[in-house]
Structure 1
């Protein structure tokens, strides 16, 4: 490493590369966005190279940034593995397991089943890190396993293709199109799927994405009036409740909300895959295995709700949803 380089600057660079935005990186590092921006700028000045392209959709690595990440990633992995080796003692009196998931998965799929987990494993302290973004945690293009350094188990919406991680598909999470009854009483419902002209829309904050629901909405909203955008499921759901417009939401969220009506079906809007990800070097640890088993069980029990089965378009959300009555096997 050059004497002119600061390891802290490199740490901030890794966080932005993995998270894809200043705000997400600041949340991981527990600092404000100004500090992250200053650190990244300091590193770019030291190297005399631009490392990120800035856009509305976030921070994307430049070719020079990708080269730097490729050099740093193995070092970062080794340091993270060393840390995990020292804290992975499953006989610790106060064992902590950290699970990362998207906001909707954490609140609607995992949280309702926490009492049972607590009863079975009173010795474990479960920490659920809920990502408010529309996609939840997903690996960036060059990041090995995504932002997994301080996380034992993660549920991602894209399959990691790099890094020393174990992955398993545990199901899918369907999206539907939702609105309040007050909104549909005034403006009606879309006449055909994917054509929202003349309607008000609550859009995603990121319009360019390979993820199905985001791709669908970016095209369906053409000709519509986009009144607000947000990367948070909770914000879009509340905006829909307040009658601001049509919102694409996970069915497990929208179908349970008595203030919302489903006006667009999952087969039109699309779904996200659910991938269970954990570190290969700690997957054998008892507390991590317990957390993985918990997540898999939650996905199985919630499969019907995740897929939006039972709800009928045009009826109040929750009226016909078969919440989680049958424990069925999730997709492998």
Structure 2
């Protein structure tokens, strides 16, 4: 089977349009169309239904697209192995994690990674959706639960809890609650319980809602919740890893906390020898050790009279 025709077919199936596929491949629409017709003739099958709004794969086209997608992923893996055969750490590393952890914990620490590996290119994909690592939607993931996909190497990094925080400015203006019943006099800032998030956070928010907060601000990620708290809007439900980087935040009702949420790093078994993966894994583990030491020092300083 002609590999070049398969490559063009894959681009058309992915784009859903001869024109868009041609743009990607630097080919004219007519050239793409000729190659698709030639492939259909060689297979004796129709691969696309033609519609005014674009192209839709036939059942036979779906089967071939599944095959070319698997081929593409395997080629990406082979390319990664070849790149990682060098001694230096360089090239693209696709990292996926949640919005909150990616924006509030990981991104502020990335300068250290780039200082050590200036030729590394990190593609940070912030998704609440769990990407398919075995199918190479990403190279490495940091997730708030144990990965369930097969053929993954997993490393438990830390645990996270959702706690309640407010700014000093807000507390000076509105007072500090001394019990959960006092929530009725305050504005609560949190993720909407319908938004994608760890169940421990949603359960804590649902519990707080039973105390009828005076006002409410919901945001679909923890970065937005943090901005609301920093701007003196109310009491926020936030992951505890914001404590070190925003030491002026005051913890509210310290006896109230969510269940512990495990944080895992995972990557495909086939990338076990990847130097880029190893560099990123070691960097994250080192930063977590530093974070824990700094967090203990911060807690000790707050406990001092």
Range class of TM-score, shorter chain: 0.5 to 0.7
Structure 1 segment 71-220 matched on structure 2, within 5 A: 79-89=72-82, 90-91=84-85, 94-111=90-107, 113-122=109-118, 124-129=119-124, 131=126, 137=128, 139=130, 144-145=132-133, 149-193=136-180, 196-207=183-194, 211-220=199-208
Does the aligned pair in 2 maintain the 1:145–1:164 contact within 8 Å?
Answer: no
Q: How has the CA–CA distance of structure 1 residues 196 and 302 changed in structure 2, closer, same or farther, with 3 Å as cutoff?
A: same
What is the aligned partner in structure 2 of residue 320 from structure 1? 302
TM-aligned CA distance change 1:243 to 1:167, over 3 Å:
same
Q: Alpha carbons of 1:275 and 1:258: their partners in 2 closer, same or farther (altered >3 Å)?
A: closer
Displacement of 1:86 in angstroms is: 2.5
TM-score by length of 1: 0.60
Cα deviation, 1:122-154, whole Å, max 9, x if unaligned, reads 4x41415152xxxx6453xxx7559x7342211
Deviation string, structure 1 residues 135-174 (Cα, Å, up to 9, x no partner): x6453xxx7559x734221110121212332211111123
**1:201–1:289 Cα change, 3 Å:** same
CA pair 188-280 structure 1, distance change in 2 beyond 3 A:
same
Gaps of 5+ in 1: 1-5, 11-41, 48-71, 313-318, 322-332
TM-score under structure 2 length normalisation: 0.64
Structure 1 residues 145, 160: CA separation in 2 closer, same or farther (over 3 Å shift)?
Answer: farther
- Per the alignment, residue 209 of structure 2 pairs with 221
- How large is the Cα RMSD of the aligned pairs? 3.8
**Match in the other structure for 2:275:** 286
Q: 1:168 to 1:289 in 2, by over 3 A?
A: same
**Unpaired runs of at least 5, structure 2:** 1-11, 17-52, 59-64
Cα distance change of structure 1 residues 7 and 155 upon mapping to structure 2, 3 Å threshold: same
Please tell me whether residue 274 in structure 1 is matched to residue 267 in structure 2: no
Rate the CA distance shift 1:156–1:320 in 2: closer, same or farther, 3 A: same
Higher helix share: 2
Offset at 1:228? 1.8
Larger radius of gyration: 2
